Structure 1
Amino acid sequence: MTPSELHFSDPEQDLWARFRAGDEDAYSSLMRVYSRLLFRYGCRLVADEDFVKDCIQDIFFDLWEHRSTVSQPASIKAYLFKAIRLRIFREQSKWIRGADLEDNFEVEFSIERQLIDRQLADETHRKLEQLLNALPKRQKEILYLRFYEGLSHDDISRIMTMNRQSVYNLLHESILRLRRSWQGEWVLSFLFLIREIFS
């Protein structure tokens, strides 16, 4: 069965199937929907915005060139996140010679207070930033993917090229570390704020 004969109940999966069949409008829609997400994630991996934009353009160019042989992924978002991560890793010599991708996940913890409970004190805001900035970069990345991007353990395992149990262990370790540091507060309350901190 060709992609043009497929019909998916999930609109994004249907969009991907139409793109694979050569539908230029579907292709444009995919770029419009995912370019911003890929740019935001890519800029966490490397600070060079122009380089990230080039990587995104290369990914979408390659997708169109190979649309007939591209698979139908279970998660389009995870598929594209893995693609940008691998592209940056492969092309990293163009921005930092000898750099290790795993050591370069950056997060700017800019907290817009109107997005967070306005009753939180200044000290609480500072503590949130300090705790997250103290985490190893892989832990920051996995928290970002899980709690900000809302990706599943399986999706994260594909993106970060780890097995599912390793993803679970790293996420569990990150939450335990936060729980130990976040004395006197519920860790779940802390985790609900992560979405706002990463935005």
Structure 2
Amino acid sequence: MANRSSIPADEQLMAQLWTRFRADDEKAFDQLVEARYRVLFNYATRFTKDRDLIKDCVQDLFLELWNRRKAIVDTPYVTIYLIKALRNNLFRKLRRERGWALALEESASLDGQSVDELTAEASWVAEETQISTEQNLRQAVAQLPKRQQEVVFLKFYEGLSNDDIAQVMEVEKQTVANFLYRAMTQLRDSLPIRIFS
């Protein structure tokens, strides 16, 4: 995990709001909700298109946080905490209300390829989301298994590190690297424009 000096300024503000909210500051809580509602909503759309269910889950999460504010731990990583809590709540509701369960994939080796070797591919995904092939990329990502979609979303759309993604998904860092490798391999093979050699 990164040390406090490497936490983005926005996350430092979130940590300040979090501390104030835990001390019964309603304005800080409102700011926290406003600052992270859209991120949480967008994250949840990776698992379901039921917008009403997503709204309910996000609202339930914030209501639960307010009701339990005295017992909640302090954290400098508020966004990760919120994403992880929403993910757990959403999966519980999906399982209970729809009988839906997320398939767990087994960890596999990277066949000798290190995470550093994926940097060019990661840069490509970030660039492609900003140019005309964005639609093709989104369609290709939608074809990935759910766990790989989640990793791609957290890595490239939310900018989380592998350590942070591992915390959110409650898996080992190596598992995150494996998901990324598999996702990048499938994207490379399925996209109509050949970027990779």
TM over 0.5: yes
1:54 match: 56
Range 15-24 or range 131-140, more displaced: 131-140
Moved more, 146-155 or 43-52: 43-52
Q: Does 1:65 align with 2:74?
A: no
Alignment of 1:11 onto 2:13: yes
Amino acid aligned to 2:174: Q
Output aligned runs, 1:104-183, within 5 Å.
116-117=130-131, 120=132, 127-181=136-190
1:145–1:151 Cα contact (<8 Å) kept: yes
Residue 132 of structure 1 deviates from its aligned partner by 2.5
- The 1:29/1:157 distance shift into structure 2, 3 A limit, reads same
TM (norm. structure 1) is: 0.71
Give 5+ residue unaligned stretches, structure 1: 1-8, 104-114, 188-199
Residue 73 of structure 1 deviates from its aligned partner by 2.3
Structure 2 match to 1:34: 36
Name the Cα RMSD after superposition. Answer: 2.5
* C-alpha spacing 1:27/1:169, structure 2 compared with 1 (3 Å): same
Kindly tell me the number of residue pairs found equivalent between the two proteins: 162
Q: Which blocks of at least 5 consecutive residues in structure 2 are unaligned?
A: 1-8, 105-128
CA–CA distance in 1 between the matches of 2:87 and 2:103?
A: 10
Q: 1:77/1:169 Cα in 2 relative to 1: closer, same or farther (>3 Å)?
A: same
What is the match of residue 197 of structure 1? none
Task: Return the alpha-carbon distance in structure 2 between the equivalents of residues 157 and 126 of structure 1.
Answer: 28
- Contact 2:148–2:180 (CA under 8 A) maintained in structure 1: yes
Q: Distance in 1 between matches of 2:96 and 2:161?
A: 31
Q: 2:195 aligns with which of 168, 171, 185?
A: 185
After superposition, the Cα gap between the structure-2 partners of 1:180 and 1:93, relative to the gap in structure 1 and judged at 3 Å, is: closer
Q: Which amino acid aligns with 1:134?
A: Q
Residue 127 (structure 1) shift: 4.7
Q: TM-score, normalised by structure 2?
A: 0.71
Q: Distance in 2 between matches of 1:141 and 1:158?
A: 13
How far off its partner does 1:139 sit? Answer: 1.1
Match runs of 1:75-94 below 5 Å = 75-94=77-96
Task: Give the deviation of 1:137 after TM superposition.
Answer: 2.0
Contact 2:102 2:146 in 1 (8 A): no
Residue type at the aligned position of 1:32 = E
Kept in 2: contact 1:75–1:155 (CA 8 A): no
Q: Percent identity?
A: 38
Distance in 1 of aligned mates of 2:103 and 2:50: 16
| Residue-by-residue CA offset, 1:103-153 (whole Å, 9 max, x unaligned) | 8xxxxxxxxxxx843xx5xxx567535532332221111101100011111
Question: Matched residues in 2 for 1:43 and 1:72: separation?
Answer: 27
